[in-house]
Structure 1
Amino acid sequence: MTSEDQDPHAPIAAVSASADVLRHPEAGEHLLTAVERERAARFRQESGRLDFTAAHILVRLCAARLLGVPADTITLAQNCPDCRKADHGRPYLPDHPDVQVSLSHTHGVVAAAAGRRPVGVDVELTARSGSLLQVAGRVLAPAELQQVEAHPEPGRAFLRQWVRKESLIKLGRTTLDGLAAVDLSALPLDVPPGRPLRSRYQDLHLVDWTDPVRGAVICAASTAAPRIVVLTPEAG
Structure 2
Amino acid sequence: MSTRVAELPRNDHTASLGEAGPAGETAGAAGVWYWRVTAESPRHEDWALLGEAERHRAGRMRDERSAAEYVGCRATVRRLLARILGGDPAGVPLGRRPCPGCGSREHGPPAVLLPGGPCLSISHSGGLGMLAVSRTPVGVDVEALRDVHVTELAGVTLTAAEQQVVLVMPEPRRTRAFLRCWTRKEAVLKAVGVGITTSLTALETSPGRRGPVEVTTDIASPGPVPWRVTDIAVPGGWVASLALPATAGGTVTVQAA
Asked whether the two chains share a fold, i.e. TM above 0.5, the reply is yes
Q: What does residue 234 of structure 1 align with?
A: none
Match for residue 169 of structure 1 among 164, 183, 189: 189
Unaligned runs of 5+ in 1: 190-196, 232-236
| Root mean square deviation, CA, Å | 3.1
Share of identical aligned residues, percent?
A: 28
Change beyond 3 A, Cα 1:85–1:45? same
Match of 1:179 in 2: 200
Partner of 2:252: 226
Contact 2:205 2:213 in 1 (8 A): no
Match of 2:156 in 1: 138
| Structure-2 separation of matches of 1:201 and 1:158 | 16
Q: 1:60 to 1:206 in 2, by over 3 A?
A: farther
Is 1:157 matched with 2:177?
yes
Does structure 1 conserve the Cα–Cα contact (< 8 Å) formed by 2:93 and 2:113? yes
Aligned ranges 1:86-101 → 2 under 5 Å = 86=106, 88-101=107-120
CA–CA distance in 2 between the matches of 1:58 and 1:4? Answer: 19
SS at match of 1:177: coil
Quick one: distance in 2 between partners of 1:205 and 1:151?
25
Q: Which amino acid aligns with 2:234?
A: D
What are the within-5 Å matches in structure 2 for residues 30-69 of structure 1?
30-67=48-85
Q: Larger helix proportion, structure 1 or 2? A: 1
CA contact (8 A) 2:176 2:239 kept: no
Q: Which residue of 2 aligns with 1:204?
A: 227
Instruction: Answer yes or no: is the 8 Å Cα contact 1:118–1:171 preserved in 2.
Output: yes
Sort the Cα spacing of 1:116 and 1:161 in 2 relative to 1 into closer, same or farther, 3 A: same
Contact 1:64 1:70 (8 Å CA) reproduced: yes
In the alignment, the residues of structure 2 paired with residue 173 and residue 79 of structure 1 have an alpha-carbon distance, to the nearest angstrom, of: 9
> SS of the residue aligned with 2:48?
helix
C-alpha contact (below 8 Å) 1:103/1:122 kept by paired residues:
yes
In the superposition, the TM-score normalised over structure 1's length comes to: 0.76
Cα distance in 2, alignment partners of residues 149 and 184 from structure 1: 15
Q: How many residues align?
A: 216
SS in 2 for 1:95: coil
Instruction: After TM superposition, give the deviation of residue 78 of structure 1 in Å.
Output: 3.0
Matched, 1:8 2:30: no
Amino acid of the structure 1 residue aligned with 2:209: P
Equivalent-residue separation in structure 2 for 1:133 and 1:110 (angstroms): 28
Partner deviation per Cα, 1:141-165 (whole Å, 9 max, x = no partner): 2211111112232221111110110
Structure 1 residue matching 2:254: 3-state secondary structure: strand
Does the 8 A contact of 2:5 with 2:255 survive in 1? yes
> Secondary structure at 2:35's aligned position in 1?
strand
**CA distance in 2 between partners of 1:100 and 1:44 (Å):** 30
Mapped partners of 2:70, 2:49: distance in 1: 13
